[in-house]
Amino acid sequence: MNGELPLIFTALMGGAILAYVVLDGYDLGVGMLMPNVERAEQDLMVASIGPFWDANETWLVLGIGLLLVAFPVAHGEILGALYLPVAAMLVGLMLRGVAFELRIKAEGWHRELWNWLFWAGSTLAAFAQGFMLGRYITGFDRGAGYWLFAVVVGASLCGGYVLLGATWLILRTDGELQRKSIGWARWGLGWVALGVVLVSLGTPLVSETVRDKWFAFPRFLYLAALPLGTAASWLWVWRSLGKSDGQPFAGAVLIFVLAFIGLAYSLFPYVVIDRLTIWEAAAHPSSLRFVLAGTAIVLPFIIGYTAWSYRIFRGKASNKDSY
């Protein structure tokens, strides 16, 4: 059982991070789209994410918390290498939270200022997350090329979140805002394609282990289902834009899920690529068992509350909602 505990926590941590990327990704995307519309449409956009955005960040807390308590060695190495982008992400998230609350009571140019800060916080947080991903999958190697790669991955993740945000608005709004969202979604699809290609090429180029896992025959034939499925999901989103309210968002989520599965397969069993496995980074089994018991109590409440809130606030958003 002791050898299985790191596997359990790896699955829990990966699930929490994926849930965060999808759920907070769409509201970060909505925040980044705020400057493109008029005030009434901005209020509608905020109303579409109002009941959910704060709780979505719970998954980030859970994922980072599991990394800290279950893999303390990896936590120190990863956050030590990513200290500045992590700080930038937290500043962006805090700025977005403050702006979200204060824009409600502000009037005139003050309200416009807080709307702009909501956009700035969303963009900073999204870019920092993508930048961290770019640094992580290259093993924190130094050199101008690696830093440029991380910058482009950061921009691509911003575009990916815009895709999630735009398809969320297609699902949750109608009329002129929905029509604008269709155009934003097409723009976001281009960035998603770039990001998936970069990550798919970057990891095998950096790691011989990853190259062997993906391109050894006949394993390559089975693994081809992942990139083919991702491409099919991309085409599904493109073709469903303007024809369905729900399919574009479902397809966008599927793109992220398949890309995440591919990345997880590339990295496993390393928590720091080619340097530190999950067993080498794991805490003592007694600590893992204690934390697992607490997680088993807390996680059902998080899942239950998330499902309940999305059920209660389903349907189209309205300007009558006060956010």
pLDDT at 239 over 90: yes
Q: Name beta bridge partners: 272.
A: 276
Element (H, E) at 276: strand 276-277
Query: Are 193 and 227 within 8 A, CB to CB?
Result: no
Q: How many CB atoms lie within 10 A of CB 146?
A: 17
Query: Are 7 and 142 within 8 A, CB to CB?
Result: no
pLDDT at 150 over 60: yes
- Which residue would you say has higher pLDDT here, 255 or 1? 255
CA 253 from centroid of its chain's CA atoms: 10
Average pLDDT over residues 237-265: 91
Single-letter residue type at 297: I
Query: Does the domain formed by 5-312 have CATH 1.20.1630?
Result: yes
Relative orientation angle of helices 58-70 and 5-32, to the nearest 10 degrees: 150
156-170 pLDDT tens trace: 999 999 999 999 999
Query: What pLDDT was estimated at residue 146?
Result: 85
Local confidence band at 87 (pLDDT 50, 70, 90 cut-offs): very high
Query: What pLDDT was estimated at residue 319?
Result: 61
Contacts 24+ apart (CB under 8 A), 298-306: 298/62, 299/12, 299/62, 302/58, 302/59, 302/62, 305/55, 306/23, 306/55, 306/58
91-147 pLDDT tens trace: 999 988 888 877 777 677 677 788 888 899 999 999 999 999 988 888 888 888 888
Q: Name beta bridge partners: 276.
A: 272
273-323 pLDDT tens trace: 878 888 888 888 888 898 899 889 989 998 998 889 888 888 887 765 555
Residue in this structure with the two tokens 């505990």, named with its chain if needed: 5
Share of the chain above pLDDT 70, in %: 97
Average pLDDT over residues 214-221: 76
Residue 147, C-beta contacts closer than 8 angstroms, at least 6 positions apart: none
Query: What pLDDT was estimated at residue 321?
Result: 56
* Angle 19-153-114 from CA coordinates, rounded to 5°: 70
Query: What pLDDT was estimated at residue 30?
Result: 92
Alpha-carbon span 154 to 127, nearest angstrom: 5
pLDDT at 32 over 70: yes
Query: What pLDDT was estimated at residue 142?
Result: 84
Query: What are the domain boundaries of the chain?
Result: 5-312
Alpha-carbon span 74 to 216, nearest angstrom: 29
- End-to-end Cα, the chain, rounded Å: 48
Average pLDDT over residues 199-219: 78
62 is written with which tokens? 């859970």
49-77 pLDDT tens trace: 888 877 788 888 888 888 888 888 887 88
Query: What pLDDT was estimated at residue 320?
Result: 59
Closest CA to 200 of 187, 214, 183: 214
